[in-house]
A and B are shown apart, each in its own frame.
Chain A
Amino acid sequence: MASGVKPRVKAPKKAEAGEVVTIKTLISHKMESGQRKDKEGNIIPRSIINRFTCDFNGKNVIDVTLEPAISTNPYFEFEATIPEAGELKFTWYDDDGSVYDEAKNVAIG
């Protein structure tokens, strides 16, 4: 279990109907690549977030597959269309089976 995992999301609280908004996400995670060795020369086992998704009212915005080459504290910036008021749902899937999620409400107006 990776410790100290904290998702952060920056999304607008309000948007016009049909507006395209920019969303920024960051999750603190060490993203151990499985390539590094410890002092005794043993390989440190891989422990990364392998998938990130963003949905709005159940409809998919982006679905990212992550490999070990993604930096520590994976950061993503992308754009979403907001057709109506609703909830943006962000989900991160860890190698160890943990799932971290975060939600943001977006109002129209």
Chain B
Amino acid sequence: MDFTRRETLALGAGAAALTVLPFRVHAAADEAIAAFTGGADVADGGVTLTAPEIAENGNTVPISVDAEGAVSILVLASGNPTPGVATFNFGELAGSQMASTRIRLAGTQDVVAVAKMADGSFAKASSTVKVTIGGCGG
């Protein structure tokens, strides 16, 4: 396969755009975490995020979050066009700080859960989900 000079340049530009894009998406997820925590430190552990390793259909991916002693849990999909997924706020009659739902994922990416604990600290967990068919449509 031979490339003309013009095609080679176009390929190079495409590759450059590809490397820039995921970085910007991650920045959006980081901003969402910062808005939730107010810039506080986020520790790893203390929250459990259950997600499938491989999801055939990105339109409905079952996930579940669990963090004992949490007041609220923020769930983010770092590779979606908008990273926000859901925020669970637990009231006084919550039987446990656990919730399950189904989410959309645009492609293979990390799903992140950030829990706000009753004492004001934050904990984080993330899980990589491989998506065969993206769930955001064309």
Query: Using a CB–CB distance below 8 Å, which chain A residues touch chain B?
Result: 20-22, 33, 35-37, 55-56, 59-72, 74-83
B103 interface hit (Cβ, 8 Å): yes
Residues of B within 8 A of A65 (CB): 86-87, 89
B100 touches A20 (CB 8 A): no
A76 touches B93 (CB 8 A): no
Partner of B95, one of A33, A67, A80: A80
15 contacts between A and B (CB under 8 A): A36-B137, A55-B93, A61-B94, A62-B90, A64-B88, A64-B89, A67-B86, A68-B104, A70-B101, A71-B61, A71-B101, A77-B101, A78-B88, A82-B93, A83-B93
B80 interface hit (Cβ, 8 Å): yes
A44 nearest CB neighbor, chain B only: B137
Chain B nearest CB from A5 CB (Å) reads 17
B92 interface hit (Cβ, 8 Å): yes
In the bound assembly, the distance between CA atoms of A75 and B135 in angstroms comes to: 16
Count of interface residues, chain B, beta-carbon cutoff 8 Å: 33
Contact A64-B95, Cβ < 8 Å, known A33-B104, A69-B103, A70-B104: no
B64 nearest CB neighbor, chain A only: A77
Partner of A64, one of B64, B86, B92, B137: B86
B82 interface hit (Cβ, 8 Å): yes
Chain B nearest CB from A12 CB (Å) reads 12
Residues of B within 8 A of A67 (CB): 82, 84-86
Contact A64-B84, Cβ < 8 Å, known A75-B102, A76-B99: no
A66 touches B95 (CB 8 A): no
B138 interface hit (Cβ, 8 Å): yes
